[in-house]
Structure 1
Amino acid sequence: MTISSAAALAVPFGSQSVLVVEDDTGKVLFEKNASTVAPIASLTKLMTAMVVLDAHQDMNEPIEIEKEDVDMLKHSSSRVPVGATIPRRDVLQLALMSSDNRAAAALARTYPGGIDAFHVAVKRKIAALGMTQTVLEEPTGLSPHNRSTAADLVKMATAASNYPEITRITTSPKDLINIKGREVEYHNTNRLVGAKGWDIGLSKTGYTLEAGRCLIMRIKAAGKNATMVLLNAGASSVRLLDALNVRRHVLGDTAPVSTRAESPRVRASVGGPRIRASVGRGSHHRHRHMVVTRHRRHR
């Protein structure tokens, strides 16, 4: 893979590490710090899913969510209660689509041979994919010691795209899953999935304080297929605007979208969704919130 430093200068990316590769040719479209090792948060779950699917377990087998699946490191929330019994297929969906940490932990815990065998399988998969700068210590991405580079993650994304179950789940905007006899609606953590004008073939978001906002996507635009990896953006708005800039370039419109907070509205494409970024003030921090709305056509 040849990396062009000129491409990195073409767009003012807010993410600290960026790599965008044209899938059909391997041509690097954009690069910024692609070899920098950094925490990857829930992007980890793509590896967890591949390893679980490689084991060819019964996807209809019920899995009970146990106390040991609860996040005791970051104390992250979950809408999957301890004691719920869910088919492995739905547990995988929860881990990938809504990035549920208890679900990912349960998948690793119930791997053939247990958690130790799961870790061995992860290391083997990392080596097989040639991800030489990647270390994954646990299945959720909560640990800051789960680290990789944008260059390695393009390899992971390419491999994950060969699993129909992963591509189906990660490109579903939402789904209903039965939790203790009640249908609960879960949404994709990537709000671009299902948005007008976006043809997404693979998606996974990630966030921890150490990793910042991260994103892997495979997109198709103007007959071209591209894989993007964005790591350590300071806010969801920055990550989103970086993705918009990538898509605009793939479509041939190379004028970059501003990532400044004072540019509150960005249209992804003509006829596409309009992005409104608002800045709210909390008691201790300022939070940027992204709202995706449909623009109205003038008649």
Structure 2
Amino acid sequence: MRNLSKRISILFIIAIVFIAAFAIKPFEIQAATSLEVSAESAILVDADTGKILYEKNADQLLPPASMTKMMTEYLVLEAINNGEISWETTTQISDYPYSISADPTFSGIGLIQDQNYTVRQLYEGMSIISDNATTIALAELVAGSEAEFVKMMNQKAEEMGLPEYKFVNTTGLSNADLGENYPEGTEPDADNLLSARSAALLAYHLINDYPEVLEFSSKMRSELDGRPLENLNWMLPWEDNNFTQYGYEGVDGLKTGYTDEAGYCFTGTAMQGDRRVITVVMKTSSKGERFLETKKLMEFGFSQFSQAELFPAGYQLEGQSTIPVTKGKEEEVDVEIAEAITSMIQNVEEEMYNVEYEIDESLLNENGELTAPIEKGDKIGEAVLSYSGEEEIAYLSGIGSKQKVDLVASTTVEKSNWFMLMMGAIGDFFGNVFGSIASFVTGFFN
């Protein structure tokens, strides 16, 4: 009986400790080691290298709704960067975007005709509240018509290497919703199409090529014509209690989307310390769910991965730190990596990464030698990051892509003077002659 009482006491204490462990921090998010995302398609990417940290049906083509506007945003920023327009360039609203803006079906903000709007004003309308009319007005300003702008969108998608895409308008609406205004050269009932992988690659280019986009996507409020513009991204640091459950540290973009065909979509990005991630969820079931599922992706990325310097600048691969040189004062040159190789890696996997040298074959003679003179810092080839884990590492630019840095000469090798070159040539000549004679004599007695 006494042993039974003792066992019950021990079990009771264990239960109390177990309950207390969860009671201390009942709402703490535990670091996930695996991930289940309630979305038709999803992806998580390191924004620095394009390394894919998680994916689910990432190649499935789906309507992206207003995430389409990321390409419009890119091309407008490109036009500004090229000096074709400026933030203060003004334009007026033509009949087509005016009709969209006046239609409550499209949640238009009510633009005014015969009034000048700056590019900045229109861009805020497009970026902050995902307005369709301001998007069309910008496209018409840049390309003359939405149809011409759509051609630019598809051309840029090809240049970026988006693997799966189809752009038929600038807004993400279905062409069927546009009636007679659907862009010339597209089908009247066509939809824009993107995969999660393509949306992430588009966001990658947008953020890295034009980081100023984040100044707009992180802006929670603005106004146009005296009417408020309120950001549709609930993950920003809102003080409204209705949104606090969706907030996440470091979120500063990027683009929401919704249509009946697309469901609720979101391309998100967040930065914590020196790490930035890009996420995409497509076809979730509600406004809130797209942000909660994005939160899962971001939490997984930041808790399970860390930014690590795998190999420092100046690193030399053991046994391959020199390359032979011909016609130089030295017979070999030291080589090293020009810059550090850093990557977001899964925790405890640092030892699974190595580097391999890829020497530029065009710089080598038939004997595998570099030809002097060689200056310190000259590019000799590339150092490629490799991974020895069980699963292949994938990048946005394609399966099998690698992180690379320049492999350079770490010393200077001057060209030998004419006398030494001549003596070397004479030595080579007689060496070849004696070699030929030796071969002849050896063959004679065999």
Instruction: Give the TM-score of the pair, scaled to structure 1.
Output: 0.74
CA RMSD, 1 decimal: 2.5
**CA deviation vs aligned residue, 1:67-109 (integer Å, no higher than 9, x gap):** 3113399931211334253211110110111100111111112
> Secondary structure of the equivalent of 2:109?
coil
Match of residue 263 from structure 2:
212
Superposed, which structure 2 residues align to 1:61-210 within 5 Å?
61-69=89-97, 70-71=99-100, 75-83=105-113, 84-143=115-174, 145-161=191-207, 162-177=209-224, 179=225, 183-195=226-238, 197-210=248-261
Say if 2:88 is the partner of 1:60.
yes
Going from structure 1 to structure 2, the CA distance change for 1:209 and 1:250 (only over 3 Å counts) comes to: same
Q: Extract unaligned runs of 5+ from structure 2.
A: 1-32, 175-189, 239-246, 306-446
8 Å Cα contact 1:221-1:247 kept in structure 2? no
User: Distance in 1 between the 2:288 and 2:223 partners?
Assistant: 27
Q: Which of the pair has the greater relative contact order for Cα pairs under 8 Å at 6+ separation?
A: 1
Structure-1 residue corresponding to 2:443:
none
What TM-score do the two structures reach when normalised by structure 2?
A: 0.51
Q: How many positions carry a matched residue from both structures?
A: 243
Instruction: Tell me how far apart the structure 2 counterparts of residues 92 and 216 of structure 1 sit (CA, whole Å).
Output: 18
Task: Identify the residue that residue 63 of structure 2 maps to in structure 1.
Answer: 39
Question: Structure 1 residues 192 and 114 mapped into 2: Cα distance closer, same or farther (>3 Å)?
Answer: same
Q: Is the 8 A contact 1:174 1:188 kept in 2?
A: yes
Q: Once structures 1 and 2 are overlaid, which stretch shifts more, 53-62 or 238-247? A: 53-62
Amino acid at match of 2:163: T
Moved over 4 A (4+): none
Bigger mean CA offset, 109-118 vs 183-192:
109-118
Amino acid at match of 2:44: V
**Secondary structure of 1:110's partner?**
helix
Unpaired segments of 5 or more residues in structure 1?
1-8, 255-299
CA contact (8 A) 2:236 2:252 kept: no
Could you tell me how far apart the structure 1 residues matched to 2:77 and 2:263 are? Answer: 28
Q: Secondary structure at the match of 1:10?
A: coil
- Aligned sequence identity (%): 24
User: Separation in 2 of the partners of 1:38 and 1:197?
Assistant: 26
Higher Rg: 2
Provide the C-alpha distance between the structure 1 equivalents of 2:47 and 2:75, rounded to a whole number of angstroms.
23
**Normalized per residue, which structure has more helix?**
2
- How far did residue 65 of structure 1 move? 2.4
- Deviates further, 92-101 or 119-128: 119-128
Could you tell me whether the CA contact under 8 Å between 1:36 and 1:149 is conserved in 2? yes
